[in-house]
Amino acid sequence: MGVSRRGFLGILGGAMAGATLAGGRANAQPPSSTSADSFGCLVDLSLCVGCRKCEAACNKQNSLPQPDRPFDDMSVLDTFRRPDADKFTVVNRHLVGGAPAYAKVQCLHCLDPACVSACIVGALTKEPSGAVRYDASKCIGCRYCMVACPFQIPAYEYSEALTPRVRKCEFCFERQMEGKAPACVSACPKEAMAYGKREDLLLMARERIRSSAARQVTASTEGAADAASTPAGDAAAGNGAAPLPLLPYIYGEREAGGTSWLYVASHPFESLGLLRLPPEAPPRLTEAIQHGIFKNFVPPLGLATLLGMAMYTLRGRKEKEQ
Amino acid sequence: MSHSASTPIKGVPFFTPGTLVLTAIAMAGMGLGIWRFVVGLEATTNLDDQFPWGLWIAVDVASGVALAAGGFTSAGLAHVLHRGRYHPVVRAALLTAMLGYTFVALGLLFDLGRYYNVWHPMIMWQGNSVLFEVGMCVMAYLTVLYLEFVPIVAERLRSPEPLPRLLQLVRKPAGAVVGLLDRIVGKIMWLLIILGIVLSSMHQSSLGSLMLIAPSKVHPLWFTPILPLLFLTSAVCVGFPMVIFESLLASRSFRLKAEMDVLSPLARLVPIVLALYLAMKGADMAIRESWRFLLPFDLPARMFLLEVLGGVALPLVLFLSDRVKRSQLGLFVASSLVVGGVVLNRVNVFLVAYTPPYAAESYFPSLAEFGVTAGLIALLVLVYRFAVMNLPVIPGHAVEEGGR
Ligand code: SF4
Ligand code: SF4
Ligand code: SF4
């Protein structure tokens, strides 16, 4: 009896261990779906002045409901906000060392998106253009995508009784197809955002970081002259002082496996409400385990075979009933 | 060894003070459930963009699936390992699993925003999604369970005893259809049993993989890559205690003699799996050094300790004692602890451990969420009672002295 009991558990344990091992090997696979010339956006937060023009443009582009307070009401910035079912992007004001700093957030359009991997019916897809899109007609409303997103982006129309949708920025996919930049990007008066091939944007980001550092060196040698040339009242300059250099870090280059949207900033990203995340794309772990368990159906079939063999060989023990 | 055939339980009224209370809870819960479909999730639940999953997923779905594990564990014991002495509890375990999974599916409908699309996964395959695998396995397993149950219905239809009046009318055609099904099922029963065990192992473990997609949101006390293995093992742990728990409750409720000659030997198997589970949890903690997160002794730490000490370690000690295994009360307490421990584990993994980075406030279920969950459980118990009073599920029926 002891033997067979252990046998039974051993079978299960063995199948699981096999699956996990297979998973470990599959872990090395590269992310699935990103084409080399997909698009992205580079947001230079040091240029953002918190005018909310991008919010207004996004609202109009996506025919979202009018907000209670208009987009030129800056008192909205007094509270920290997150994108929700009625707004796909928000700008928040953060106080860093007493000075205001602004950060626009929206879906980052991950290269290997957790939401896409999680979705039970494939209602979310990563397009070759870089956009992560949503098809409401497939969605069953399980909200697993919301559980999965490391940036906590997808929102849900909980108030809809019959046809609730997952809501999030879709990178203005229609505009992309027309060769246009996203509405929010085009609306920015400070040109704080750039739209283009992600590869190019990474180069651009590095170049900006380099030149801002160089400018800083010049600024400190040339003294007040440079600071005076900065237009007065430019919030990006921060209290009229020389602009801070960009930090030598591109947010989104690696976070959660990398994202199509990239950020540079002159303040630590965490102080601007951007999460510190590990470079692994979340789907790599779950998909490795899943595909390990299903690898050519070997583990389930193996378990079935073992059970069948146990059932057959032990049948002699069948006691008189039935 | 008693293997008196199973028969419907006769001579007890369906409605007792207890079942009347259950009926009230079930009706209130279903009322709230209907209200949810009319007004939507916002008005009825405390779910929001930070906490997309709540009580219904943690209890109705995740715990429901775990507690129905008695079906595949006892099938494995009785039909694969051919431990014939356990046959008397297999039918009850099968009924529990069948009803349990049915109610999991029902409970899920309340939670799904587009419940009418629940069938979409069948045609919209998404093999990368853990949830897809869980969904497909649960659907397939539910079918297997219904098929495995066919012989019990067929046996009832063959017996000369009259059916309830309405059913008596369709007895002939129903008998023919079920009889035919029964002959087919009889031939492939061995396959169904194997299939049931394989499907169960797959989705019980995958349920644990679900939260692995959100490493940055799940508290490190629970987040481990071996979560699927832990889920499978804890499901195996709770299988027999759940069978014992129910069997004792049923014999109490129907004033039958407790089947101690089956339950006590069954209880001997429990500490083996419990010990294995505890060892896995301990090793995992040691390797990941997650014990550090116990030190703040905050809510997650306390919930973790309650789960592991109260729901695993304590029942392990109890199940090792012969006195406990021979006493009805002892068995009942020890089994309840395991059942409670597994439910607490699922609640911990899906709710307590879930810490979204921008959460403004924490989640606590609404009254309607509690109401629907309580209503579903009450309804499940009532259907179970109805089933064992009308179908040959529970064997023996030795009436306890002074009973009835
Ligand atoms: S890309 Fe389009 S949808 Fe996304 S935030 Fe900008 S305007 Fe809104
Ligand atoms: S940020 Fe979230 S919603 Fe956007 S693509 Fe990444 S995982 Fe999906
Ligand atoms: S809520 Fe919809 S989009 Fe999100 S995972 Fe579920 S089915 Fe997919």
Q: What are the boundaries of each domain within chain A?
A: 39-287
B244/B331 Cα distance (integer angstroms): 8
Residue B12 has pLDDT above 70, yes or no: yes
Quote the mean pLDDT of chain A.
84
Alpha carbon of B190: minimum distance to chain A alpha carbons (Å)? 8
A25/A32 Cα distance (integer angstroms): 16
Three-class DSSP category at B222: coil
Q: Is B78 a member of any domain?
A: yes
Pairing label, strands A261-264, A155-156: unpaired
Tell me, what CATH number does B285's domain have?
Answer: 1.20.1630.10
User: How sure is the predictor about B218, in pLDDT bands with cuts at 50, 70 and 90?
Assistant: very high
Note the CATH number of domain A39-287: 3.30.70.20
Supply the pLDDT for residue B404: 34
Return the ligand number nearest the Cα of A60. 1
Q: In this predicted model, what pLDDT tens digit does every residue of B261-272 receive, in sequence order? A: 999 999 999 999
Contact (CB<8Å) A120/B232? no
A307/B72 Cα distance (integer angstroms): 12
Q: Is B268 a member of any domain?
A: yes
Q: In this predicted model, what pLDDT tens digit does every residue of A205-231 receive, in sequence order? A: 999 999 998 887 776 666 554 444 444
Q: Model pTM?
A: 0.89
Residue A19 has pLDDT above 90, yes or no: no
Question: Residue A86: CB partners within 8 Å, gap ≥ 6?
Answer: A64, A65, A67, A167
Supply the pLDDT for residue A237: 42
Supply the pLDDT for residue A227: 46
Which residue CA neighbors atom 3 of ligand 1 most closely?
A: A169
Lowest-pLDDT choice from A139-153, A255-269, B167-181, B374-388: B167-181
User: How sure is the predictor about A246, in pLDDT bands with cuts at 50, 70 and 90?
Assistant: very high
CA distances from B388 to A118, B128, B385 (A): 40, 41, 5
Q: Is B8 a member of any domain?
A: no
A285/B295 Cα distance (integer angstroms): 28
Specify burial of residue A313 (Cβ count, 10 A radius: 0-12, 13-18, 19+): exposed
Supply the pLDDT for residue A298: 81
A187/A300 Cα distance (integer angstroms): 54
End-to-end CA distance of chain A: 21
Residue A234 has pLDDT above 60, yes or no: no
Q: Can you tell me the mean pLDDT for A127-151?
A: 97
Nearest ligand 1 atom to the CA of A106 is 5
List of long-range contacts for A177-183, beta carbons under 8 Å, 24+ apart? A177/A129, A182/A41, A182/A61, A183/A54, A183/A57, A183/A58, A183/A60, A183/A61
Comparing C-alpha atoms, which of A273, A313, A32 is closest to residue B358?
A: A273
Contact (CB<8Å) A290/B114? no
Using the mean position of ligand 2's atoms as its centre, give its distance from the Cα of residue A256 in Å.
10
Q: By residue range, what is the domain housing residue B252?
A: 13-398
Structure tokens at B46: 């405390």
Return the ligand number nearest the Cα of A137. 3
Lowest-pLDDT choice from A36-40, A237-241, B188-192, B265-269: A237-241
Three-class DSSP category at B81: coil
CA dihedral A134, A137, A141, A147 (to 10 degrees): -20
Q: In this predicted model, what pLDDT tens digit does every residue of B220-232 receive, in sequence order? A: 999 999 999 999 9
| DSSP letters for A163-189 | S--EE---TTHHHHHTTPPPHHHHH-T
Supply the pLDDT for residue A87: 96
Q: Is B64 a member of any domain?
A: yes
Residue B217 has pLDDT above 70, yes or no: yes
**Looking only at Cα atoms, what is the longest distance across chain A?**
102
A44/B54 Cα distance (integer angstroms): 37
Helical H segments across A119-222, by residue range: 144-148, 173-177, 183-187, 198-222
Pairs of CB atoms within 8 A across A/B: 226
In chain B, how many domains are there? Answer: 1
In residues, how long is chain A?
Answer: 322
- Whether ligand 3 lies within 6 angstroms of the CB of A217 is answered as no
Q: Is B163 a member of any domain?
A: yes
Q: Are B48 and A158 in contact (CB under 8 A)?
A: yes
Report the run of H or E that residue B345 belongs to, with start and end: helix B328-347
In residues, how long is chain B?
Answer: 404
B308/B298 Cα distance (integer angstroms): 16
Q: In this predicted model, what pLDDT tens digit does every residue of B296-334 receive, in sequence order? A: 999 999 999 999 999 999 999 999 999 999 999 999 999
